[in-house]
Each structure stands twice: as C-alpha cells, then as structure tokens.
Structure 1
Amino acid sequence: MSIKMAELIRKWMKLFHVMLTRDIRSIILLVTFQIKMFWYKQKNIVMLHFFDENVRKFPEKPAIFYKDEQYTFENVSDLANRISNWIESSLKLGHDDQWELLHKVSVISNDEQQQNQQNNNGKENIIQTKIYQQFNDNLQTTQIGLMLGNIPELASFLIGIARVRCSAIMFNTNHRRDTLINAFQATKCQIFIFERKYLQAIKDVAENLPDIKFFLYDRDLIKQPQRQQSIDKNLLQIDFNYDGMTRMDLINVSVDNDNENEKHLQFSKLLQTYPTTSVLKKYPYKFTDKMIYIFTSGTTGGNIKASPADNVRQIASYFSQCRAFDLNSNDNIYICLPCYHSFAGITGLGYMFIGGITITLADKFSATKFWKDCCQYQCTAAIYIGETCRYLLAQPYRQEETQHSLRIMMGPGMKREIWREFQTRFHIRRIGEYYGSTEGNVQTFNMTNVEGSCGFIPYYYGILCRLLFHVYLIKVDPETMELERCRRNGLCKFAKPGETGMLVGQIRPGHSFSEFLGYTSTKESTKKIIRNVRTKGDFAFVSGDLMEMDFYGNLYFKDRTGDTFRWKGENVSTTEIEDIISQFTKHQDCVVYGVTVPGYDGRAGMLATNDRQLNLDRFYQFMYERVPDYAIPKFIRITDDIQMTSTLKFIKYPLRKVGFDLKQTKPMDQLYYWNCQQSKYLPIDSETYDKILNGQIKIS
C-alpha cells in the first residue's frame, strides 16, 4: 500500500512540474500565436508580403542551396516575377478585381440552403453554412498543375502563381497511368507544367487527359543562378507566340528526339524574355486565398483528393513550428522529402518564403548522402518522417554523422524504440516530433523531447482545456473503429489516459488553423466531418488516426483507421488500389489492407483475393505500370475466407488481424511475399516466415 501511495505522489509531483514548465510555456505560445494570427488577418497580410519583405531586406542572402548551385532571394523573386508576368500577359489569367466581380457565385445552392434550414437551425445551421462555404470556395480558383521534382524553380513557380492569385496543384511525381488520371480528375487544372523527365508518364495517359494546355519545363536549358545571364542571343529561335502543347501534341511528341521537339523545348527560354518587375495589375490578395493544393488519399478511401492550403494555413504552420522548435532566420534547414507533400512543400518552403530562412534542397532522401549534405551546407536543422530515421540508423557508421551542425530534427513518425538511439548515435540535441495532416485542422507538438510522443493534450484542466484547445481524443470501438457515444445524450466519449482514441479537431469557423478546408470534392469533404462531439450542434474533423494518451497528457501514435495505410512515408488508398487490381482480376473479389512487418515503419500493402488463377508475374507488371512502387502489395493471400457485410462491403478487420501469419491462415490458403532481391513474388513457408520476422528477408 505504501509503495502505491509513493508512486501516486511521485506521479502527481511530476504532473505539477509539467504544469509549471511545459503547460505555462505552451499557453504563452498559444496566446501570442493567436494574437499574431489575428493581427495578420486584420491587416490582411499574406504570404507574398512576407516573401517580398525578405527579398527587400536581404536580396543577396542564399535562399536555396541545391547541389552545387546557390539561389539568392532575388534569384527566386526574379524568376517568380517572370512567371507571373507570363501568366498575366500570355495566358490572360489572374484573379484581379474584374475577375472577382465576374466569378462571384453563390457558394451553396438554394436546394442545399433549404435543406439546411429544414434539418438544422440557429447556430448549428450557421456553422454548417460556413463549413460548406469553405468546401465550395475550393472550386473558385484558377488551378495550375505542377509536376516538378525537388528543384529550386519550384519555389519561383509557387510565388509566381500566387502573385496573380491562382493556385498551384502539386502533382505527385510518382503517379503513373491510373493514379495520374485520377489526379487530373480530382482537380480542374487549366494549365499543366511538368519537368522533361516526366514527359513519358504524361504521354502514356495523354488520351485520357483534359483538353488543356501543357508546358514542358527543362531547367537544363537555363541556369537561373546566374542572374546577369543574358537571354538567348538568337531571339529569333524563340517563338514568342508559343502557347503550349495540346493532348494531340503529347500523343505525337517524341521523348528522345530534341530536334523534332525543338518548339516544345522553348518554354524555359521563353520565360527568360519576360520582365523581372512585378505584375502590372493590382490583385486583391486575401488572407483566405488558396495557395497550394496537395494530393492526399486521406483516411476515407476512394480516389485521391486534392486538399488546399491557404495563407492562413501556410503562415500558421510556419509560426507554430518556429515558436515550438525555436527556429530563426539564421537557420539553414535541410529538406530531402518530396515537395509534393505538405511537410516539405508547404511548411518546408514556407520556412524560406515567410521566415527568410535558408533551405538546402535535395532531389530526394538518400541515407548515404544525408549527413554529407548536412555537413557540406552547414545545416542547423532538418526535417524527417519516421521511415527516414530508420533508414539512417540502418546505415554503417560514417564520419559525417557526428560532424554536422544540426541542433534539431523536426517531423512526424519517429518511433519511441529508436528515439534515444537516434539522438545518441547522431548527436542530435533535440527531436521536434509533431503530428499533423495535409487536410486536417489538428496539429500537436512535442516541445519537451518526450520519447515517442507527438504532442500533448492537457486533459487535466477539464473545461479550461476544451476552451483553449480544439483537439480531442475520442473513444472508439476496438473492432469496428466506430466512435463511441453516450446513450443518454448522443455525444462522443472522451478517451482517458491509457486508452486508445481517435484524434479529432473541433471546427471553429473564423478561428485560425481550426477550420477544415476540405478537398476539391465536397462529397469527399463531408466524409471527414462528425457532429455532436462535445456539445449538441458542434462539428469536428475526424483524423482517422488512433492515439494513446498517458497520465501527463502526452500523445503516442498507434495506428491509422479507414481505407488507408501508410508505407515508406506515403499514404495509400486501399479503395483506389482495389479498383485498379479488379481490372486485372476481371473483378474477382480483392481486398487491400495494410499489415505490420517487424523492423518497418507503417504498414505494408497486402492483397487478399479468391482468384486462384492469379498470374503473379503478370500481376506485378500490371501494377508497376499503373501505381507507385509503395502502393504495390508486398504480400498476397489467395483465400476463400473473405467476409462481407449485409450491404456487400468487405470486412477487413479479420484479414488485417491475421496478416501474413501462417499459423492463422487456413490450409487451403496460399501466401506470397515480394522478394525485392529476386524481383518476384515467392511462396511463404515456415522458414521464410521466420526470416521475414527476424529481418533476414527484406521486402522493401
């Protein structure tokens, strides 16, 4: 009894210490953040204002280091101005005052308004109308698609597009065939700009693309860092009336014949002929302007969707991270994650756009080059996802891993099991673990280096916590993953310390960073909203992520729910992959889900099908041509044990629970795994099963 009492006293003493240190600091940061965001909103200060001020203050300061090239803030601005002038004068696009007047439409139809009034009233109806206004606003913009890798010019394209109040759609450079077609269908691009190395991917699906203009960008034709570089001497070789390629041009274009395609290789040089001065028109920039759209499969399944980030989201993301992790304009942040994801494309580039921070940009993550790059460019911070940390630990020792200048690494997904080892081996003083999602209104920060935690909720303050924080942990049924509600009032039940719950964020229209912007599809947007969470009539964004909270309020990521799994740092929509596989199996039953594999972060894709005639070699080739490698199933189970509900929906929980465990499958089942050394699917027997578990066989 005395031991239990001593333990209880120790816990409460530690909690009191947490309240005096972490909580007080967090409340101060939260209040100052809200004041700052309110000030920016009142003054209508947008991302472009921050960037232009950085260019004015230090034009010669390095904005981007890329390989052996250096781009100053003035370099980035000059190309951005050329791009915006091209969009304004040549494409005749841009959301000026006249455009606003012509395109101002009712965001909610009369039928929807009438239905809302019938089903809801008072405050609930007002909140719902504002939420739907956000969803419909996503369609009221001119969208320009970008399929560019991690190149410095991407920053200029984003600024140039924003300067004329258009929106950039960041296409995933791994998308091919079906997934690429789905991406076009999820947006309404009027212009599409892509790097030359993606020409074949675009050409492959040209017949299924919308009837828009396509522009091929070849950065090798023009090297932007030389600001004084003269424009092409022979201006007669440039077609000043060039207006891009059509679908038919893409079908007929040759990937390898430069002479034949000389006309379509001129776009980069053509941009150099436009002035570096600002655009001529006055644009009524707004705090809520949509800047960038990022593709996400989300947690509701279905085809991929595009989620917007407005000025509010970009500015709030920057300042919240800077305050949580003590970043400043003297930092140099290493970015090796793909910019088509929000962490690098919105937050990462935002460090430079808004804070005037130098960034070092890598083509892609390389475990062998990571520490070398950090040393060479004298980086002081770096971003990560959990998978990259595991890859770094798997590398043999190299001298650079302890000679760098990094004081902090920031990102989501570092496992508690490797946290201390990572910090110790690589001499990283601080891990800035946090939680966030592309489309979500939920963001939490681990500001005190608690191992494995992605943030906290100070639940012990009761009603005060719920007034200050819009983030809650809701109880769920462990098998169905449905939210648990109180029978008496129908409200959600809150998870207690030690319980697993679903992370949700209350939607508070008008409050910075708590609004849910939705997707380009209103139908898909509504799937992410739940009602009656804490009080009758309130609305919340449901993340689909399961968390566990300890006694001190620290959050620990447990799993993802819904029809999505995460593998190699990428979200994979199971419904989308199932649709593609059914084309190959002639619509035989097929179920895709994620399974855990020892030694790997996230979940590997697994296919369960009743097609016993499945040709594994042809199946892989079919998938390889249509989806990214991370979305191809790594395990296959041929079985008759696929259950369905009365509404003919597949029940995935039993399949996911069994995974590729030989002991739990039926005798007639056939199990296969992807052998990356032999590049083929091989049967799983007891020996190979044990080797997969102990890491002797690699599946990726």
Structure 2
Amino acid sequence: MGWETVLYSVLAGVVTAPILIKLFYPHFLTDARFILKSLPITKLERNIKNNVSIITRFIQQAAARPDRRFLMFEEEVYTYRQMDRWSNRVGHFFHGQGPRAGETVAIFMLNEPAYLAVFLGLSKLGTTSALLNSNLRSKSLLHCFNVSGAKNLIVGKEEALRSAILEILPELQQQGVTVWVLGDQVQENGLLPLEERVEAASGEPIPEELRADIKMKDIMAYIYTSGTTGLPKAAKVSYARMVYASMFFGLSGATKDDVVYCALPLYHSAALCIGLAGTVETGCTWVLRRKFSASKFWDDCRKYNVTVVQYIGELLRYLCAQPKRANDKDNQVWGALGNGLRPEVWSEFQERFGVSDVVEFYAATEGNVGFVNVLQKFGAIGYASPLMRKLRPCNFVKYDVATGEPIRDENGWCIETKPGENGLVIAPITQRTFFDGYAGKKALSEKKILRDVFKKGDGYFNSGDVLFMDTDYFVYFVDRLGDTFRWKGENVATTEVSQVLSEHEPIQEANVYGVKIPGYDGRAGMASIIVRPDHSLDLPKLYEHVAQYLPPYAVPRFLRMQQAIDVTGTFKQKKVASVEEGFDPRQVSDPLYFMDTSSKTYRPVDQDLYDKIIKGEVTVN
C-alpha cells in the first residue's frame, strides 16, 4: 500500500469519524467534555489509594505555602502556618488528656476559627469528631452525644450552648464525660476551661505515628442527619469520603488563587466536608461567617474580595428576596457551588448578581452516589450517560409513590426507568462506591440498603430521592421520599417532630409531613393533631413547647386539627392524601392554623390568609 493510499485512508477516517460518532453514539462529545472537566477526581482517587488524607494534605499545604491566608473570619485572619500551629496545640493538649486514635470527641460549637483548630487538631491525633448540631437541645442533644460514644465534649463560648449542656450535664456526669468549654467565664461545676490550657500547649508538629494506623476506611467524623427513625442518626464520614468531598472545589473550577465564602454551619457536610476539605485540597482561602445574613452577604463578598460562594438553594432564594441595590453586580464572585437550587432562583441569581458559573451538585453525607453539573446545564444536578454510569455506577428505578419503596417485577427484581421518566436513584455498594453507614445499631444502616435488586445477593444504597433524567442524560432533582423532608436546607424527620408534639400533654397523636408552598425550596412542616378527650389545646403553650424542644427548622409551620388519623393495615400513618390537601381551606374541612412568630402562637388559616401565603404576601419563616 502506497503512502498516498494511507494518507487518503486517514483523511477519510478523519472526515467520517464525527459522522459515525454522531450516528452511533451521539453523546460521545458530551461524555468527552464531562471526563475532561472531571479529571481532578483521578488525583483524589490516587490519594485514597496511597492513604493521603485531608490532614496530610493540610500539613503539606502549611509547609508549602505557610504565609498564604487560610481563613478569614470577621476581623480575624489566619495563615496556613498559624492554623497549623493552633491545631497542633489542640492536639498536644488532648493527647495528654487521654483520647487516642479511633476514639471519639464530640464538638458542640457555632462557626468560629476555634472550631477548625479543634477539628484539625483532633484529627491529627487520629480521633473521630462527632459534630453536634448547635440547634439541638434536651433529649435530642443527649441522644446525639450518646450515639457517638464520646467521653470528651468540647463546647463553644456562647452562653446558649453552655446552657444547653448544663441542662443535660447530670446525665453526662453519670457517664463519666469530661466537658471542656471555650471562653473566659467558665464557673459552673463540671465545666472545665479549655482556652488557656490549649494556649499553653506546644505548637510543634504532632508526631505522625500517633495516627499511623489510621486508614481511609476509618471514621474521621460523625455528621448527624435525619432519618425515618425520628431522632438524628450519626452518619459515618470516613477519611476516604472526606477526600472525595474535597473534589467539589476543583470540579467547580476553584484554584489556590480563589477566595471562597461560606455561611453554612460547620456541623453540616456542605461546610465541613466540601468547604474545609476543598479549601485544604486546593490551597485557597476560606471565608467563614458565624451565621448567614442575607443583608450582609454581598457586603462580606466585597470586603473579603470573594470569588466563589457556597450555597444551599434556600440561601440564594433569600438573597434574591432582598431589596435590589444599585451595587448588586459590584462583586468579584464568578462562581457559586452548592445544591438545592430551584430553576426560577437560578436564573434570577445569575442575572441580578452577575455570577457567571453555577455548579449545582447532588450528594448525601452518607450516600455513595453523587452528581456534579460541571457542564453548566441550566437546572441540572449532573450528567449520567451510559458511559458515566459505567464509570460511576448508579441506577434509576421505578417506585411506589405512596410507600416510597421500589416497584419489583414478577421475578422480584427492581425495574429501571428510561430517560424521560422520574426514578428513585440507587447505587451498588462496592469497595469503590462504599456506604459507611451510621453509628449505633446495624439495623440503622441496613434500612438504607436494598437487597436482591437486580440479582441474588447484591446490595444497593437507597438514596430516598427521586430524580429525572432527560433524553440527553442530564439529571434533575425532583423530590425526597419517605418520612424525611427538607426545609431551610435541613432534613426534618417527621417522627422526631411527632414525638415532641406527643409529649405535650393535650396531644394524643400527631401525623407530621411536609407541604409545598410556591416560591419556597423544600417543604414546610405541617402536623395533623388529635387532642385528647377532655383536654383543650392552648396554642401559645403549644408554640412555646415546640420552640423549646425542636430545632427552628423542624417546628411545624401549619397545624390541622382532626378527630382521627388514617392508618394502614400495619398501623402506619397515611400521609399522601394529607400532603396533597396541604393547608388549603377549600380542600380541608378541619380547622387549620399557621405559625405566627410575631405573637408566638398559631392563628387560624382562612381563605384570605391562605391566598396571601400562596401569593408571597405573608412570609413563612
């Protein structure tokens, strides 16, 4: 064969290849773009294989760029070197107190630099940190602490946190728990001052041998999530999971030169896993706010020269609800990274504030399936072509709307949906797509696993989430199934709320569910209530009760007074019909009430109030 023939053959291949690709696999180019955008994942998988943890990466970054700004908080600035030495002092002090690699220390703090110093310092010892939700009180708080198995508890300096711990201190003391408190005014018996002791400790590096036996499968943190059992569950966050979480900054396009803003709580995986781990991996600067403020958000971005912001969907909706300002686009923010963003807010946010890139992702703290919209497809959470699902296995299956359970065929196997249909997303549990589960009884983890899905003996993680995949394989979030719904960016467990309601003497039974409100992300809590015979319900007292014993996001926004609650043959409360009826007085003949935060009570819902809520004239806080 002459060179002319070879040349013509090559040219013919070059000309016809795109045509053949388009004809036989039209999504090839999209796959190629997605793979190129996802290259940061390969480095992280090498880190996992080589046992290079986030702590190792933090120490490496502190050595390589010690004077680079690591954290900005209010008027405080900490370099990588300063945070490294601070966390060393924490580690040296606690090493002298007894906690060793593999043991657990609980943290109950609000966002502040000390939180990061404590977490990093404990992690340098190889200990596990249990990150307690700072909104929890009473029984829920004690439950979450007990699940962790910790014998040491570190409490932030705020009076509200200290008061919450004093409420359960007798139980903690009975268990032999040591309680350490930050701040200067520590006088209560049983609370030990921590700050001066840490300041007096050595800032020299923590000996690596103290954590030498820690492997990627070991647990770095417990992050609490709500499940169908009611009380929060402690999701196990392994060292490998933290490494995977660090990929989101890189996938969003963030580099060491970026300044990333976070106003989300550190007890959440969005802040700790994605924010802290992403900062450590990229070597960028992280701006942390004590608490989210819609009115101060953009002022902060200008003050700190922020280039990327972290969000949950509700957060960006709050920003768009703020009065328009002439300087709305006066910022350096080019990217937003987060999840739960509704399409109507997405476009308004980008147009109003001039943010060019929105990188929406889908993930769960304990889950083994995730998506990232690195291709900037409007409204999507990611891309899942057949090739992508081979590389990152997951499946979309048919489900029963009433029960939330997968529908099975005549042979007992789950049924996969087709592009263009809603499906329950599940993922096989393998060494690569692992499910760490929850602390405590094995049954808690087992409830999230589907068995014998496509063949005998297989196991799949059940996300409990319904997603939609279009014919181009872009994936969109639809809804969450089961007894858990999302409100204010938090998971609300209906059985936990029902339990608190039922502890109020006049209430005999409560059925809790979430209802949709136009213009709001997630679902607002609603409770159908049966009052005990010969009792009357004092609404201000009920308001006081739920406000005291529930986190703010879990307090029911609506009440429905019923004579009886429908149940299934196995005595499970039926929710589907109640969810559909919502709080519309035209569909519900029972008395309806709306939470009035200004007067601290519940007031009746009539047609006028209902219309105002639907139109957005009355805010649901």
TM-score by length of 1: 0.81
The residue that corresponds to 2:270 in the other structure is 343
1:318 and 2:246 equivalent?
yes
Read off the aligned partner of 2:517 and give its amino acid letter: V
Q: CA deviation at 1:28?
A: 4.5
Residues 346-404 of structure 1: CA distance to partner in whole angstroms, max 9, x if unpaired? Answer: 11011222221110011111111111111111111010000011100010122442111
The residue that corresponds to 1:569 in the other structure is 489
The residue that corresponds to 1:553 in the other structure is 473
1:698 and 2:619 equivalent?
yes
Cα distance, 1:397–1:592 mapped onto 2, change above 3 Å: same
Three-state SS of the structure 1 residue aligned to 2:209 is coil
In the TM superposition, 1:153-302 aligns within 5 A as 153-197=114-158, 198-209=161-172, 210-218=175-183, 258=185, 260=187, 266-280=193-207, 282-283=209-210, 284=212, 285-298=214-227, 300-302=228-230
For the residues of structure 1 that align with 2:187 and 2:505, how far apart are their CA atoms? 40
Aligned residue among 290, 293, 300 for 1:366: 293
Q: RCO greater where, 1 or 2, for CA within 8 Å and sep 6 or more?
A: 1
Residues 240-299 of structure 1: CA distance to partner in whole angstroms, max 9, x if unpaired? Answer: xxxxxxxxxxxxxxxxxx48559957420111111111235713132223111101003x
Tell me if structure 2 keeps the 8 A contact 1:51–1:354. Answer: yes
Tell me if structure 1 keeps the 8 A contact 2:179–2:192. Answer: no
Read off the aligned partner of 1:93 and give its amino acid letter: P
In the TM superposition, 1:426-445 aligns within 5 A as 426-445=353-372
The residue that corresponds to 1:27 in the other structure is 35
1:619 and 2:548 equivalent?
no
The residue that corresponds to 1:503 in the other structure is 425
For the residues of structure 1 that align with 2:592 and 2:21, how far apart are their CA atoms? 52
Residues 53-106 of structure 1: CA distance to partner in whole angstroms, max 9, x if unpaired? Answer: 1010111111001111100111111111111111112x12222xxxxxxxxxxx
For the residues of structure 2 that align with 1:306 and 1:366, how far apart are their CA atoms? 28
For the residues of structure 2 that align with 1:421 and 1:280, how far apart are their CA atoms? 51
Q: CA deviation at 1:571?
A: 0.8
Instruction: Give aligned-pair identity as a percent.
Output: 33
For the residues of structure 2 that align with 1:207 and 1:544, how far apart are their CA atoms? 38
For the residues of structure 2 that align with 1:147 and 1:15, how far apart are their CA atoms? 58
For the residues of structure 2 that align with 1:83 and 1:556, how far apart are their CA atoms? 43
For the residues of structure 2 that align with 1:276 and 1:544, how far apart are their CA atoms? 45
Three-state SS of the structure 2 residue aligned to 1:677 is coil
In the TM superposition, 1:551-700 aligns within 5 A as 551-585=471-505, 588-611=508-531, 613-666=536-589, 669-700=590-621
For the residues of structure 2 that align with 1:556 and 1:42, how far apart are their CA atoms? 32
For the residues of structure 2 that align with 1:155 and 1:343, how far apart are their CA atoms? 14
The residue that corresponds to 2:69 in the other structure is 62
Aligned residue among 440, 443, 448 for 1:528: 448
The residue that corresponds to 2:12 in the other structure is none
1:451 and 2:378 equivalent?
yes
In the TM superposition, 1:462-473 aligns within 5 A as 464=387, 466-473=389-396
Tell me if structure 1 keeps the 8 A contact 2:486–2:492. Answer: yes
Cα distance, 1:280–1:329 mapped onto 2, change above 3 Å: closer
Q: CA deviation at 1:215?
A: 0.3
Aligned residue among 419, 431, 434 for 1:515: 434
1:478 and 2:401 equivalent?
yes
The residue that corresponds to 1:71 in the other structure is 78
The residue that corresponds to 2:233 in the other structure is 305
The residue that corresponds to 1:132 in the other structure is none
Tell me if structure 1 keeps the 8 A contact 2:179–2:190. Answer: no
For the residues of structure 1 that align with 2:545 and 2:383, how far apart are their CA atoms? 44
Q: CA deviation at 1:37?
A: 4.2
Tell me if structure 2 keeps the 8 A contact 1:676–1:699. Answer: no
Tell me if structure 2 keeps the 8 A contact 1:294–1:342. Answer: yes
For the residues of structure 2 that align with 1:70 and 1:327, how far apart are their CA atoms? 20
In the TM superposition, 1:23-172 aligns within 5 A as 23-28=31-36, 32=39, 35-89=42-96, 91-95=97-101, 141-172=102-133
Q: CA deviation at 1:20?
A: 4.0
Residues 185-237 of structure 1: CA distance to partner in whole angstroms, max 9, x if unpaired? Answer: 3221110000121111111222333430000012xx5xxxxxxxxxxxxxxxx
For the residues of structure 2 that align with 1:688 and 1:270, how far apart are their CA atoms? 56
Read off the aligned partner of 1:611 and give its amino acid letter: V
Three-state SS of the structure 2 residue aligned to 1:662 is coil
Cα distance, 1:41–1:420 mapped onto 2, change above 3 Å: closer
The CA RMSD measured in Å over matched residues stands at 2.2
Read off the aligned partner of 1:212 and give its amino acid letter: V
For the residues of structure 2 that align with 1:609 and 1:294, how far apart are their CA atoms? 31
Read off the aligned partner of 1:92 and give its amino acid letter: G
Tell me if structure 1 keeps the 8 A contact 2:180–2:191. Answer: yes
Cα distance, 1:373–1:643 mapped onto 2, change above 3 Å: same
Cα distance, 1:193–1:515 mapped onto 2, change above 3 Å: same
Cα distance, 1:26–1:532 mapped onto 2, change above 3 Å: farther
Tell me if structure 2 keeps the 8 A contact 1:186–1:304. Answer: no
Q: CA deviation at 1:675?
A: 2.1
Cα distance, 1:400–1:295 mapped onto 2, change above 3 Å: farther
Residues 318-352 of structure 1: CA distance to partner in whole angstroms, max 9, x if unpaired? Answer: 12x24421221111100111111001011101122
Residues 601-620 of structure 1: CA distance to partner in whole angstroms, max 9, x if unpaired? Answer: 11111110121722211111
For the residues of structure 2 that align with 1:17 and 1:418, how far apart are their CA atoms? 34
For the residues of structure 1 that align with 2:618 and 2:129, how far apart are their CA atoms? 42
Q: CA deviation at 1:553?
A: 1.3
The residue that corresponds to 1:8 in the other structure is none
Q: CA deviation at 1:157?
A: 1.0
Cα distance, 1:383–1:610 mapped onto 2, change above 3 Å: same
Cα distance, 1:589–1:384 mapped onto 2, change above 3 Å: same
Q: CA deviation at 1:543?
A: 0.8
**Unaligned runs of at least 5 residues, structure 1:** 1-11, 96-140, 222-257
Cα distance, 1:259–1:450 mapped onto 2, change above 3 Å: closer
Tell me if structure 2 keeps the 8 A contact 1:502–1:546. Answer: yes
For the residues of structure 2 that align with 1:581 and 1:259, how far apart are their CA atoms? 34
Three-state SS of the structure 1 residue aligned to 2:508 is coil
Read off the aligned partner of 1:478 and give its amino acid letter: V
Tell me if structure 2 keeps the 8 A contact 1:547–1:559. Answer: yes
Tell me if structure 1 keeps the 8 A contact 2:517–2:523. Answer: yes
Tell me if structure 1 keeps the 8 A contact 2:179–2:191. Answer: no
For the residues of structure 2 that align with 1:309 and 1:13, how far apart are their CA atoms? 41
Tell me if structure 2 keeps the 8 A contact 1:447–1:455. Answer: yes
1:418 and 2:425 equivalent?
no
The residue that corresponds to 2:10 in the other structure is none
Three-state SS of the structure 1 residue aligned to 2:395 is strand
For the residues of structure 1 that align with 2:561 and 2:507, how far apart are their CA atoms? 15
Residues 659-686 of structure 1: CA distance to partner in whole angstroms, max 9, x if unpaired? Answer: 11212223xx111011233332110111
Q: CA deviation at 1:506?
A: 1.3
Three-state SS of the structure 1 residue aligned to 2:423 is strand
